[in-house]
Chains A and B, each alone.
Chain A
Amino acid sequence: MESFKNIIDEYYPILYKIGRSFTNNRSDFDDLYQEMLIQIYHSLNGFRRESKISTWLYKVALNTAMTYNRKNKKKKREVQSDDMSLWDHQDDSTDTAQERDMEVEMLYDAINELKKDERAMVLLHLEGKQYDEIAQIMGISQSNSGVRLMRIRKRLQSILIRKGYERS
């Protein structure tokens, strides 16, 4: 049985990306990130090695994100005013690095505009998962995942263009 620390050490970027794709401010992100860690920690004993550890981890983390609810409305109001300022920006980075940072932020913002199941699917797709694995994680057929992904990808692109993204 792989230890919790080893798993997190290897797969922490997944948790970050899922957290960013399912929240739009730092406070919610921290709550969701912690909840994913808790769920992985407590579910580890139930991992039966019937699938790859990464597939299992995606399931636990995505299910946590899909069912995540903001704690309360008051908290939502508090953070709404300065959503963007809550994310880490490296002020001393070069113009190119800042531009790349902004592109990444824009992509996360665009993903946030999708429906929850669409966010999960596009995230798996961008992570390089094949249709069969996406279908297994999502619980849908392989052909269905292919058709849906094509549509979601187009929609994501149109959101990015609306947000002012230009391909260099």
Chain B
Amino acid sequence: MKDLDLNTIWKRSREKARTHYESLGDVERMARKQSDSILSKIYRNVLIENVFSVLFIVFLTVAVYRWNSGPAFWIFAAFFAGVVYLSFRVCFRFMRDIRRVNQQSVKESLQQYIRILGGYIRRQKILIYYITPIGYVVGLVVGALAGDPNDTLSETLKQIGLGAVVGLPFLFLIMWFFSRKYIQWVYGRPYKNLKETLENFEREENNPSGDEDGDHA
């Protein structure tokens, strides 16, 4: 079999590229638009989550101050400040990783992409499956404590227990069903595709002269 002149055909594609080229002004306008990549979406989500978390913590700090401006406030304030500092540190590191992901080699970038996306999916699941029910129970406790001050301890515990028994299974079922669908819909397919691409990449790397069969990405 003769070796086809792929390079000559390829050189012709440069002429073809010229016909597609838009003006530099148009190109710059296109580049300034919002990215549609899954990591950019995660980047924006993390940023929004952090802004809202800080606003919530500020609100909580003010609420604690109004309740007690003594030593209890300072304990809470120090705790909140620590939480804000840690969450910002984690957030900035995460965002820096996202920004750098495209500038690495193809293999490293794929690995990093999968690590970030996988980590984000796990984080979302933890948030939905564990933090939300805990938040619900904390809400019940706060609600019960803010109720009638004449209630006895056993009555308060009864209210909390009833709320938990009735609400938690229902809440868990709804969260589990919808969040699973949502995560699968938004992140599931890209995550699966990326993993397949990396697996194939590594398989070929370990067997560079292997046979020609295999599934196409």
Residues of A near any B CB (own CB < 8 A)? 4-5, 8-9, 12-13, 16-17, 20, 31, 33-35, 37-43, 46-47, 56, 59-60, 62-64, 66-69, 71, 88, 90, 100-101, 103-104, 107-108, 113-118, 120, 126-128, 136-140, 144, 147-148, 151, 153-158, 160-161, 165, 167
Contact = CB atoms under 8 A, between A and B. Distances in A.
Contacts of B28: 4-5, 8, 41
Contacts of A20: 13
Interface stretch (B50-58, B154-162, B198-206): B198-206
A31 B13 contact: no
A69 B38 contact: yes
Interface residues of B, number: 61
A88 B20 contact: yes
B184 to A, nearest CB: 14
A46 B100 contact: yes
A17 B210 CA distance: 27
B126 to A, nearest CB: 24
B27 to A, nearest CB: 5
B119 to A, nearest CB: 16
A104 B16 contact: yes
A59 B13 contact: no
Contacts of B189: 69
Nearest to B27: A8
A157 B4 contact: yes
A151 B208 contact: yes
State the main secondary structure of chain A at its contact with B: helix
Contact of A60 (B21, B103, B210, B214): B103
Nearest to B22: A12
3 tightest Cβ-Cβ pairs between the two chains A and B: A139-B105, A139-B107, A16-B17
B36 A35 contact: yes
A138 B205 CA distance: 11
Contact of B103 (A9, A47, A71, A140): A47
B198 to A, nearest CB: 9
A71 B6 contact: no
B33 A67 contact: no
B133 to A, nearest CB: 32
A53 B124 CA distance: 37
A62 B2 contact: no
A104 B16 CA distance: 8
B150 interface: no
A35 B30 CA distance: 9
Contact of B16 (A8, A68, A101, A153): A101
B208 A138 contact: no
A5 B37 contact: no
Nearest to A41: B31
Given A8-B27, A34-B30, A139-B107, A153 B6 contact: yes
